[in-house]
Amino acid sequence: MELIRHILNEMGADTVYAFTVVPGFGAYLGGVSAVAEFTPSRVVLRAGKNIITLTGEKFSVGSFSGGDMFVSGKVAGVQIDGEGNV
């Protein structure tokens, strides 16, 4: 994750709320302040001014600490809603 953070910082991105999806494995999300919904097929999170929705299969919490969250499972889709949405 350090390489990704370095590249994003160099490009001027806000890395506090960055996320990475690993196909067939799960997703790492930074800056998560709240979990609004968590089911085996849908996860809805708040990160800053954004609502991030993951859809897929077999979701479970891998870890959640200090705003960093790892969701294991098969991610099929990601939707971002909020002021930070580009």
pLDDT in tens, the chain (86 residues): 567 667 777 887 766 677 889 999 999 998 899 999 999 999 999 988 889 999 999 999 999 998 899 999 999 999 999 865 44
At the second CATH level, the architecture of 17-82 is: Sandwich (2.60)
Contact 52, 75 (CB under 8 A): no
Q: Whole-angstrom Cα distance, residue 41 to residue 60?
A: 9
Q: Is 1 exposed, middle or buried (0-12, 13-18, 19+ CB in 10 A)?
A: exposed
Question: What pLDDT sits at residue 85?
Answer: 47
Question: What pLDDT sits at residue 46?
Answer: 93
Contact 29, 35 (CB under 8 A): no
| pTM of this structure | 0.81
